[in-house]
Structures are given as C-alpha cells and as structure tokens.
Structure 1
Amino acid sequence: MTQMAGNANNHPTQFANAAFDIVALAASAGGLNALTEVLSNLPADFTAAIAVVQHLAPQHRSMMADILSRRTALKVKQAQEGDSLAPGTIYIAPPDYHLLVNGDGTLSLSQSELIHFLRPSADLLFESMAGSYKDRAIAVVLTGTGSDGAMGVEAVKKMGGIVITQDETTAEFAGMPIAAFQTGDVDFVLPLQEISKTLVTLVMGN
C-alpha cells in the first residue's frame, strides 16, 4: 500500500495502481440505499480513497459508518480531523461538519457557515478535492433534493477530474443529479447499478 504523505510541493502522494486517488460521493434524500448499492459492489482491493457527504439531521448521532461497514468489503470510518487518506477506505462526513480534503492528503472538519442551508456540503467537499487532487479526482452525485454538489462539480471538471451522476430513472430524488447535469460538466450519467463498475474501471483499469 502506498503511504499517503504530502511532498515538498504540498501535493498528495499518488496511490499505487490507481489512475485516480480519491472518489467523493454526495447524496441526500434516498442516499443510504444508493450509497449501499455503490459501496457494496466495490472490491476489497479498491485502490482509491473514498469520501462521502450524506445530508443528515445534525442533532442525531450518525449510524452511517456502522451500517455501511456491514455492507461493504472496504474499511469504513466516520472522518476525523487530520485523517490521512488511504486506499480502500471510506470516510464519512460527521453530522453538522463540512468535510474538506487538504493538499497534503489529509482531511479537515469544519463547522463554518452552512452552504445552501447545509452542513456538510457536497460543494465544499468537491471543491476542496478538486483543488488538492486535480485530475486524479472523481465526483459522484447520487439521489437527493436541491442542488448541492453542482458548484463543486464545476470545480472538479475545471481541474481535470471526472464527474458521474446517477440517472433520473434510478434516483429516488433527482434534484441533485439534475442540477449537476445542468452544469454541462458531467462525464457519465449512469443507472445506480452501473456506478461501482465504472468506478473500478476508471480507478483500476479493469
């Protein structure tokens, strides 16, 4: 496993056998089912790190990491300040905290202002990931209401990354995927069942 540490230029080290180092998934209403479908079909040796923003009620402790860890071969944890991204690991944004990706391959949590009335914000995750990982980042927008993620998608595409959205027919709530698609910056519009297979092909080449 390639060690993740920033080099002198404050760029994250690239993971071995990975064309992309990080995949960020964003979901809102209907998200648990969609995330379970995608993450349960990724192999245990998936060579990128995964960051997840799921909109949750801020006053309740999240069970997302517990639930997903029972349904995927990958390691799942609720993200903590200073975590170093590692391949094959899923980092879940805690309730009421923005999740940010730093240029040295670590994560930060922030309780800065709500974005579009939301915290965590997919836009902030995507934008920070784009700035840090540039053309080695993939953004995935899943089911949800509203437009969170659309601004972040533009940032990912501008920096050379790849953008995937769930298609309308398989999304329980199509607001977020449609808003992302309307930016004109989406590379793949896929049925939910095809997203994990596409991620494996993009990241691992098989």
Structure 2
Amino acid sequence: MSASALARHFDAIVIGASAGGVAALRDVLGALPADLPVPVLIVIHLPRDRPSSISEVLDGDCALPVREAIDKQPLLPGTVTFAPPDYHLLVEDRDTLALSVDEPVLFSRPAIDPLFESAADTFGERLLAVLLTGASSDGSQGVAAVREHGGTAWIQQPADAVAPLMPASALAHAGADAVLTLDALCQRLAEFHP
C-alpha cells in the first residue's frame, strides 16, 4: 500500500508503548508529517501517583501539536494526544475522547488495551494501531481487537525493541499486519500524507 493510499485508508492512529517507549516515541513523533490528516492517540505506561511531563517533553520532537488528554475533548485531526497519569484514554465516538478510572489493566492505568479496544469499536477497518517496546503483555488484547474489527496493526520487531516482551506477546496472541524495525516504522509514518 502506497503512502497516499495509507493516508486515505485510516481515520485514526493509536500507539502503545511502555519500557523504552520515550525514546521510541521521540523517533515516531519526529517522523509524523506536519500535514498528517488524522488524530494520533498514545498510551505510554506512566507512574499513577504524579503528574507527567511526557507531552511537553515530546512536543519539541513533533511537527504536530502534542497535548495531554482532557475528558470529553474533541478528537482532532493532526493532533497528538497522550493519556494522562492514572486515567485510561478511550475513544468515546468519532468526535470525542473520554477518560476513565476503571480498574488498572495488568497493573497499568493508563493501559494500552482500553485505548486500542475502544478505538477499534469506533473506527473498525479505518484504524491503524502501532505497538512499540514494552515489558508487559498490555496491548495484546488491544491488537487482537483491532484486527478482529478489520483494522491494521503494526508491531515493532521484538529483536529491535529495548524491551521485547510487549511486541512479542502481541505477536504471539494476535499476529500483525506488519512487523517492523523502529526505523522502518518511522519511514512508513513519514510518508503518511493526504
């Protein structure tokens, strides 16, 4: 699928990461084009008991605005939105995000599975999910949900990840539409133009 075809095929991108994820996300966000026509929603495992500066830290690496999610905020194209500490980030509908204090998933809140599952319910085959480095199996159920709803899942090659457990677990549980090094994944995203 060509880059322009990719841009026409997806209405949203969701990304999950954990251990080693800040460095990986710096590369991924740096690759996103300034004219990306879809929203990007990200969960990285964060300590639940203190504020996070992740959106400020990574804002300078990205051509798009980077912000922390607020409950019931509009889902905006061309914007990168992070889950805040101690809240799950959910896609409520095609226009709205929601925050949840439901139980942690695999000891994490925010967790990747709730974001991926809610986005899959909303966007179906028009969703691209990207799972990066991490040291838990969070994301495996979410990748399965994305693929069951006809969406596309790209997973970082476990041997390329700082922490291979998360991508390896998702691959074993749900498979993937592409297994990519971080460099290859960033190259694909960089070509993602309208």
TM score, norm. by length of structure 1: 0.87
Q: 2:31–2:190: 8 Å Cα contact kept in structure 1?
A: no
Q: Distance in 2 between matches of 1:44 and 1:78?
A: 19
Secondary structure at 1:139 match in 2: strand
Match of 1:145 in 2: 135
Match of 1:68 in 2: 58
Q: Distance in 2 between matches of 1:197 and 1:19?
A: 17
Q: 1:53–1:99: 8 Å Cα contact kept in structure 2?
A: yes
Secondary structure at 1:102 match in 2: strand
Secondary structure at 1:25 match in 2: strand
Indicate yes or no: 2:117 matched with 1:117: no
Q: CA deviation at 1:102?
A: 1.5
Q: CA deviation at 1:200?
A: 4.8
Indicate yes or no: 2:153 matched with 1:170: no
Secondary structure at 1:183 match in 2: helix
Q: Distance in 1 between matches of 2:94 and 2:152?
A: 21
Match of 2:85 in 1: 95
What residue identity is the alignment partner of 1:194?
A
Q: CA deviation at 1:65?
A: 0.5
| Structure 2 counterpart of 1:35, from 12, 19, 25 | 25
Aligned residues: 188
| Structure 2 residue ranges without an equivalent (≥5) | 1-6
Match of 2:169 in 1: 179
TM score, norm. by length of structure 2: 0.92
| Structure 1 residue ranges without an equivalent (≥5) | 1-16
Q: 1:26–1:122: 8 Å Cα contact kept in structure 2?
A: yes
Q: CA deviation at 1:197?
A: 2.5
Q: Distance in 2 between matches of 1:58 and 1:66?
A: 18
Higher helix share: 2
Q: Distance in 2 between matches of 1:19 and 1:58?
A: 35
Q: Where do residues 48-63 of structure 1 align in structure 2 (5 Å cutoff)?
A: 48-63=38-53
Q: CA deviation at 1:191?
A: 0.5
Match of 1:85 in 2: 75
Q: 1:21 to 1:200 in 2, by over 3 A?
A: farther
Match of 1:4 in 2: none
Indicate yes or no: 2:134 matched with 1:154: no
More displaced stretch, 168-177 vs 91-100: 168-177
